[in-house]
Amino acid sequence: MSLVTLLPFIVLIGAMFLMTRSAKKKQQQAADMRNQMQPGSGVRTIGGMYATVKEVSEDTVLLDAGPGVELLFAKNSIGAVLTDEEYNRIVHGIEHDLKSDADVVPDDASSLTETDASAADAAVSSDDRPVDLGKKDANDEPADEPTADAAPAEAKTDEQAKKSDGGSEAK
């Protein structure tokens, strides 16, 4: 037999060896992780349930899933042992960022521009009078008193009328 005919078999046996070796390494890491479980550790089961370890025996784990809820699981059904910070972040929603203890960006943008005292004053004063959006109703101003703003408004309406008339002449 030549080396060319044996080469595919050698490559196949080598690939199988590498795959089984990596699988054994992963199984060993999972077993070490499960052996490191202690009462009080947060865990995630392979089914996706988060709980706290209450007791650890040789083949089983007693988990505390909530007030008065204790569940007995096989040790092999533990998918991951979580750190305290990760468990609190996932289960309780408690996030603690050690990198920045600075002020958190508020949800209300008005607190970015005003101090607390002026914000309280603005809230009180806004309840006393309506908000002026710059629009005037016909009921607000009497018709017989012309204002300084009325003349430019009339000029604008005349210009708009001229523009529409000029467009019809182009035909």
**Section 29-51 average pLDDT:** 87
Distance CA 119, CA 125 (A): 10
pTM: 0.45
Closest by CA position to 53, among listed 140, 44, 119, 144: 44
Distance CA 82, CA 52 (A): 10
Structure tokens at 129: 């009078």
- The model's pLDDT over 118-154, given as tens digits with 9 standing for 90+, comes to 555 655 555 566 677 777 766 655 555 555 555 555 5
Average pLDDT, the chain: 75
**Alpha helices by DSSP H, the chain:** 3-35, 84-87, 110-113, 116-128, 150-169
